[in-house]
Amino acid sequence: MYKELLEQIETNQFKEVKSALVEMHVQDIADLLEQVDPPKNLVKVFKLLPKDMGAEVFSYIESDIQKKLVDALSDKDLSFLVEEMYIDDAVDFVAEMPANIVERTLKASTKETRQLINKYLGYGPETAGSIMTPEFIDLKEQMTKEACLKRIKKLGEDVETINVLYVTDSARVLKGVLSIRQLLLADDDTTVGEIMHDNVVFAETSTDQEEISNLFKQYDFLALPIVDSEKRLVGIVTIDDVIEVIEEETTEDISKMAATTPNEKPYLKTSTFKLWINRVPWLVLLLVSSTFTGLIISKNETLLSTGIYGILLTACMPMIMGTGGNAGGQASATIIRSIVLNEISFKDLFKVMWKEFRLSLLLGFSLAVVCFGKIMLIDGLLFNTPGVDWLSALVISAAMFLAIVMAKIVGCTLPLIAKKCKLDPAVMASPFITTILDTLSLLVYCQLALAFLM
Amino acid sequence: MYKELLEQIETNQFKEVKSALVEMHVQDIADLLEQVDPPKNLVKVFKLLPKDMGAEVFSYIESDIQKKLVDALSDKDLSFLVEEMYIDDAVDFVAEMPANIVERTLKASTKETRQLINKYLGYGPETAGSIMTPEFIDLKEQMTKEACLKRIKKLGEDVETINVLYVTDSARVLKGVLSIRQLLLADDDTTVGEIMHDNVVFAETSTDQEEISNLFKQYDFLALPIVDSEKRLVGIVTIDDVIEVIEEETTEDISKMAATTPNEKPYLKTSTFKLWINRVPWLVLLLVSSTFTGLIISKNETLLSTGIYGILLTACMPMIMGTGGNAGGQASATIIRSIVLNEISFKDLFKVMWKEFRLSLLLGFSLAVVCFGKIMLIDGLLFNTPGVDWLSALVISAAMFLAIVMAKIVGCTLPLIAKKCKLDPAVMASPFITTILDTLSLLVYCQLALAFLM
């Protein structure tokens, strides 16, 4: 992509580049700029853009390229850029920059913008306040359709969306909401108060962004009003920001489910050291907790190393633990996802347990049959492993059955309990549950073997 | 929630219920209806709704409740319902119903609606065609602002959105796109051709829904035009459908990553038998593949059951395999997610491998140190496990180091290779990789032990 354009840039054909750029989508221009090398050309290409387009493109550029650009811009250009950007984009930009650039940026901004940016930087991370924008259209109840259209025409250029319009009273308290469609379809003499919805769904600046995205999913909103503690309208969150939140939260969940600390930056832009920090504590924790399995094995050394069944029992150990771990991982992943999608909550604990219990009987029985067959046929007939007979195969299959039942029960309950305790259910995924199940299933396995095979 | 309303319904206070309903959001009414019991009351409450609101509420109700409702509706009511619903919602509804209801529904529809529904049912699952709607506003290039506003007022009630407007020529070929904002901010004598974007991003009816959602993420669209093979505009996909697609695809990924076949229905509505079908093949596959670890163990029986190091080596087996599996799972989950987010692709294979290799040296070394300490202190000093000395601790820690290096390399390459082979990378997650790594790390472990501890 952009091969021709990149060549034109290399060969300084900036006139051709400029006429191509104005036809492009801003997001594509941002992609292009990220591929331009050396930085000198980057600045040249950026300056080809009409100024208002430049600000929009800038907000889509990754922060390391933003930094290179800002280093090359004059204070005047920087000032224009900051004023032209939507406040939420400007805040995102400032939040990613090193101190010297932040200082330069704030100095270059108007007092009003500077105050706004500082205010937004004060909202907690992952709150509605941190993702909202103050650029929306507010109307008053008594306004007529014509007055509204005039206001939209006046402010429309600078707001984030005109698709949803907000109604406030003189104290800026949120009173209602209406869509641009309702306004356009209304008769000319209608006032805002007559057509607005007064049963408004809103959130506060401190609301967690995950709750915000749940509201969008529930109501198919395009924008959601955000109010302060006095119910005064201070901003709106738009759907494009919510999609980013959904992606971010999913990445977080998947990371935690794989026992990694989530990372905000893209993989290839994350330093190896940072990745090490994200991964090492979990591995150490899981390694140390494997002390339990080690203990169980050394306590049962006679069982596992002597007698006719010793080898077979040792050889089947990884299979029992592995299957238990996989069965538990299936249950926990399904439950964790259902919790995230608001399909189940702690009150469903017994319903879930009952379902997983019946399921575990079915699965346990199926797997026990396969296990029995595998031991008799593959281990016994095919590879002549010593110790294979119907009794040992039966005992190992019974251990398999019990391991699966335990796995499903543990796998489905722990995420729900975590949720109840205000912990993140995603942490209760496979690696964590596997460690618990390894211990449990090994215990059952050795006890059964001791009872019937010694 | 809805406690008071549900009580009023139970006690037949339908007048109060009705006045409460018209103030509510349609999605909340749908939630309420799903909690109404017995079904007789369900129908009564539904009929309290103004008819156009009824159709909207109906499209948010889960299919098992939809079925109960339709069973109780007259053909005339059903006909009104179907005509009033957006086509994409009507298609979703028909697709979920049993044959007899489908037949009744199609009979009750007008010929035009029937043809549309049948056409939509013909689009492949998970394609743009299956999620688009034909209800949009199309304009012509020569139309003035006034003519456009008139057309919007005429059609606005029945289309899915007026926020984005499409421009077609006389052969219905897509020519351009403009937002309602551009139209409203334009001067009165402007024509559509002057302000529309002619560099339109669009997709075809057969495009995969995952690609559609990537376009929305890339360009922050609210709607995307869908064309047929002659570039004629046939429908639009709107952002609310895309959010559903994103959720669906994420659930699919997480299911596959946990070795479960993805399920379309919510967990509690899925039968135990269906869950069994989703889970059992994977467990069987993983169980049978554990034959390899079993073989390695029985081939090394002398090593593991005799000599001073036998017990220690057996006791540390789960730790080596477990840590290898966890380390591989971390890498594969990170890479799978990055592939989904379009951050990396097959061309980055060597960059990724190089990064994971350096990371694995760091992690391997850290974990080997912890492992050495754990064996000497916990196993040796604390529990007096026989066979603990500096040599055995060193050999086991070295095996740990190698297991982690292998785990990271396997974990990061397999998803990328799967993607290259047009397989779903998500299948290459922890359970699958663990099975491979169990075998590899056990081999290395036994070889090292044979070389230094026999």
| Residue A132: closest CA among A160, A158, A111, A97 | A160
Write down the CATH superfamily of domain A138-244: CBS-domain (3.10.580.10)
Residue B101 CA: distances (Å) to CA of B57, B69, B104, B111: 19, 11, 5, 17
Question: Rounded to a whole number, what is the distance in Å from the CA of A99 to chain B's nearest CA?
Answer: 28
Question: Is B364:B405 a contact under the CB 8 Å cutoff?
Answer: yes
Q: In chain B, which stretches have pLDDT less than 70?
A: 1
Nearest Cα of chain B lies from the Cα of A59 at a distance, in angstroms, of: 13
Give the contacts of B193 (CB within 8 A, at least 6 positions apart): B141, B142, B167, B176
Closest CA to A197 of B29, B22, B58, B59: B22
Enumerate the CATH 1.10.357.20 domain ranges in chain B, comma separated: 267-453
Q: Which two tokens stand for residue B132?
A: 């688009």
CA A86/CA A148 separation, integer angstroms = 22
Long-range contacts of A28-34 (CB under 8 A, 24+ apart): A28/A2, A29/A53, A29/A57, A29/A60, A30/A57, A30/A58, A30/A60, A30/A61, A31/A1, A31/A2, A32/A2, A32/A5, A32/A6, A33/A57, A33/A61, A33/A65, A33/A69, A34/A61, A34/A62, A34/A65
Contact B359 A272 (CB under 8 A): yes
**Contact by Cβ (8 Å): B186, A157:** no
Among the partner-chain residues A279, A359, A374, the one whose CB lies closest to the CB of B275 is A359
Give CA–CA dist B154/B147, Å, rounded.
Answer: 11
- Measure CB to CB from residue A297 to each of B258, B314, B336 and give the nearest one: B314
Residues of chain B with CATH 1.25.60.10: 3-122
Q: Residues A17, A5: contact at Cβ < 8 Å?
A: yes
Q: Token match 């040249």: residue?
A: A44
Contacts of A333 in chain B (CB under 8 A): 254-255, 257-258, 260
**A82-126 pLDDT, tens digit each:** 888 888 888 888 888 888 888 888 888 888 888 888 888 888 888
Compute the distance between CA of residue B93 and CA of residue B64 in angstroms, rounded to an integer: 10
- Which DSSP helix (H) or strand (E) runs through B257? helix B239-257
Token pair 């749940």 is found at A214
Dist. CA B15–CA B21, nearest whole Å: 10
Angle made by CA atoms B1, B3, B4, in degrees to the nearest 5:
125
CA distance B207 to B406: 38
Question: What is the Cα–Cα distance from B308 to A220, expressed in whole angstroms?
Answer: 67
Paired residues of A179 in beta bridges: A164
Cα(A243)–Cα(B217) distance, rounded to whole angstroms? 7
Could you report how far apart the first and last alpha carbons of chain A are, in Å? 69
- Residue B7, Cβ neighbours under 10 Å: how many? 10
In the predicted model, residues of chain A with pLDDT beneath 50 are none
Q: Where in chain B is the domain with CATH 3.10.580.10?
A: 138-243
Whole-number Å distance between alpha carbons of B452 and B393: 11
- Chain B contacts of A268, Cβ < 8 Å? 338, 343-344, 348, 351-352, 355
- Nearest Cβ partner for B268 among A24, A344, A362: A344
Give the pTM. Answer: 0.84
Architecture of the domain defined by A3-122: Alpha Horseshoe (1.25)
Per-residue model confidence (pLDDT) at position B138: 93
Say which amino acid occupies A369: V
CA dist., res. A33 & res. A121, Å (int)? 27
Q: At what angle do helices B99-108 and B111-122 cross, to 10 degrees?
A: 140
CA atoms within 13 A on the CB side of A52: 2
Interface test with B, best of A52, A321, A359 (most B CBs within 10 A): A359
Domain range A270-453, CATH class: mainly alpha
Find chain A residues with C-beta within 8 A of B243's C-beta.
216-217, 243, 246
Among B391, B426, B409, smallest CA distance to B349 is for B409
The Cα–Cα gap between A174 and A170 comes to 10
Of the candidates B79, B32, B88, the one whose C-alpha atom is nearest the C-alpha of residue B57 is B32
User: Which residue stretches of B123-225 are H helix?
Assistant: 128-131, 145-155, 180-185, 192-195, 209-219
Q: Does the N-terminal peptide bond of residue A38 adopt cis geometry, omega within 30 degrees of 0? A: yes
Domain B267-453 class? mainly alpha
Q: Residue B326 is nearest to which of A163, A286, A367, comparing CB atoms?
A: A286
- Give the neighbor-by-neighbor strand order of the sheet with A174-179: A138-139, A164-168, A174-179
Q: How far is B280 from chain A (nearest CA, A)?
A: 6
Give the closest-approach CA distance of A264 to chain B in angstroms: 12
Give which of B86, B287, B361 to mutate to test A binding, by max A Cβ within 10 Å.
Answer: B287
CA A187/CA A145 separation, integer angstroms: 8
What is the maximal distance between C-alpha atoms in chain A?
A: 96
Minimal CA separation from A294 to chain B, in Å:
4
User: If you count them, how many residues does chain B have?
Assistant: 454
Cβ pair B156, B136 in contact under 8 A: no
CATH of the domain spanning B138-243: 3.10.580.10
φ, ψ for residue B235 (rounded to 5)?
Answer: -175, 175
- Collapsing DSSP to helix, strand or coil, A225 comes out as strand
pLDDT of residue A1: 67
The span from the CA of B9 to the CA of A58, in Å, is 55
d(CA A316, CA B154): 73
Nearest to B333 among A23, A254, A321 (CB): A254
- pLDDT tens digits, one per residue of A179-207: 999 999 999 889 999 999 988 999 999 99
- Cβ contact, residue pair B27, A220, below 8 Å: yes
* Spatial contact of A227 and A234, defined as CB atoms under 8 Å apart: yes
Residue B51 and residue B44: Cα distance in Å, rounded?
13
Q: Please report which residue ranges of B166-208 form alpha helices under DSSP H.
A: 180-185, 192-195
In degrees, to the nearest 5, what angle opens at C-alpha A181 toward C-alphas A179 and A185?
130
